A = this chain, B = another copy of it.
Amino acid sequence: MDNFQLFNPVNVIFGKNTIGELPNLLKDKSNILFAFGGGSIKKNGVYQQIRSALANKNIIEFSGIEANPDYDTLIKAVELCKNESVDFILAVGGGSVIDGCKFIAHAAKFKGKNAWDILCGKEVKDALPLGCVLTLSATGSEMNTFSVISKRSTKEKRAFSSTLSFPKFSILDPTFSLSLPERQIINGIIDPYVHVTEQYLTYNVNAPLQTRQSEAILLTLIEEGPKALKNLENYEMRANLMWCATNALNGTIGKGVPQDWATHEIGHELTAQFGLDHAQTLAVILPAVLKHEFENKKKRLAHYGTKVFAIKGDSDSKIAKQAIEKTEKFFRSLGAKTRLSEYKITKKSLKAIPEQVMKVTGGKKLGEHGNIGAKEIGKILDLAFEK
């Protein structure tokens, strides 16, 4: 295995009624930005619980953080933080709210002129502290340093990572996810699934523990996902999905192993251009990436087919091919679309995507071998479009 560093100081508090820990966790804070998305937390009671837990604090509310959080929305919260002397940001929601708050936390302390520079590689040396109350599990943002921000005005979507983004705490009460619409539960299965494959379906570097830790998550998602969709009120199943999502991107499984992320980088552009949900882009792009990179990933795909789908046989090629088919079939069984042609997207409208991806990466090719450039992305999009 390769050398690595593992550092993840997030204080995760998981389970029923854990929101009761909030007053203790925030006892030293005075002016708290309470940031959330739409009105769903008012319907499921989370809003009221938080207001009551923090009754003796100065709470500055900021609502309206949308899915794929928008720069122009977030920048308003940045102003609020500065004007109201905010000393802590409480992100209440899913990955979009948390990602948005990581950006707000940095932008509030940013000394430069244009906070978008944070998304373009500008290092930030200070940030407001933040904590999370997770209501929708998918992205793993509650236990990592990553943040992905969109700019609708220019149709851009970019990511940044900073150790200052680690939430001080994350409260994960699966109860809060019980009221989610089905589409978000499906997204919450596919997103962590692909987080795992990005760190697992590459090439072997003799790291059998990380390999098995990855398979542990995939097998659990395959087992619990469909059950959770059939039992929308079941706490246990949703708890298992939530814990899978956190573990899929808290760093552990990717330590010391090669990583891919081509599916994500192409997917981000599809969200930026067409507004697809993040997980919807992954369900479409992953099978196409696996097909395009078949020879490079064949051995690993065969291992995956054997261990995750229990495919028998002695031909790596055949098992690998079936493994891709089974992956797509699993996504479809959840109700996800796996081809671009199923969306209202024309082939012509995809033409600009490859160059746009390359612009975001600064020309750096994608994939664990760094072999996927604009031409290859075009081919992957063709495969993803195929009916």
Residues of chain A whose beta carbon lies under 8 Å from any beta carbon of chain B: 1-18, 206-210, 212-213, 215-217, 219-220, 223-224, 236, 239-240, 243-244, 247, 252, 255-256
Question: Contact: B15 with A4, CB < 8 Å?
Answer: yes
Nearest 9 interchain pairs by C-beta: A3-B15, A212-B216, A9-B9, A6-B12, A7-B11, A209-B220, A206-B236, A208-B220, A213-B216
Copies of this chain, tallied across the complex: 2
Q: Contact between B208 and A223 (Cβ–Cβ < 8 Å)?
A: yes
User: Shortest CB–CB separation between residue A290 and chain B, in angstroms?
Assistant: 23
Which residue of chain B is the closest to A246 with respect to CB atoms? B6
A-B pairs with beta carbons under 8 Å apart, 16 shown: A1-B236, A1-B239, A3-B14, A4-B14, A4-B15, A6-B12, A7-B10, A7-B11, A9-B9, A207-B240, A208-B220, A209-B243, A212-B217, A212-B219, A213-B213, A215-B216
CB neighbours of A14 from chain B (8 A): 3-6, 255-256
* Complex: chain B residue closest to A241, CB-CB: B209
Bound Cα distance A3, B14 (Å): 6
Q: Which residue from chain B places its CB closest to the CB of A256 in the assembled complex?
A: B14
> Quick check: B9 and A7 within 8 Å, CB to CB?
yes
Given A1-B236, A5-B11, A213-B213, 13 extra CB contacts under 8 A: A3-B14, A3-B17, A3-B18, A7-B9, A208-B223, A209-B216, A209-B220, A209-B243, A209-B247, A210-B243, A212-B212, A212-B217, A213-B247
Give the CA-CA distance A384 to B10 in the complex, in Å. Answer: 42
- A9–B224 alpha-carbon span in the complex (Å): 30
Return chain B residues, CB-CB under 8 Å to A224: 208
User: How many whole Å from A326's CB to the nearest CB in chain B?
Assistant: 19
Supposing A212-B216, A217-B209 touch, asked if A8 and B8 sit within 8 A by C-beta, the answer is: yes
Is A12 within 8 A of B3, CB to CB? Answer: no
Task: Give the distance in Å from the alpha carbon of A239 to the alpha carbon of B205 in the complex.
Answer: 12
A7:B12 contact, CB within 8 angstroms: yes
A7–B25 Cα distance when bound, in Å, is 13
Q: Residue on B with the closest CB to A3?
A: B15
Complex interface: chain B residues within 8 A of A6 (CB): 11-12, 14
Q: Are B216 and A1 in contact (CB under 8 A)?
A: no
A220 to B17, CA, bound (A): 36
**Bound form: Cα–Cα A1–B244 in Å:** 13
- Contact partners of A16 in chain B: CB under 8 A: 3
Which residues in B have their C-beta under 8 angstroms from that of A208?
219-220, 223-224, 240
Chain B: minimal CB distance from A188 (Å): 14
Whether the Cβ atoms of B206 and A240 lie closer than 8 Å is yes
A78 → chain B closest CB, angstroms: 28
Chain B residues near A256 (CB-CB < 8 A): 14-15, 243
**A5/B1 contact (C-beta < 8 A), A206-B240, A209-B247, A213-B216 known:** no
- Nearest chain B residue, comparing its CB with the CB of A216: B212
Q: A247: nearest residue on chain B (CB-CB)?
A: B209
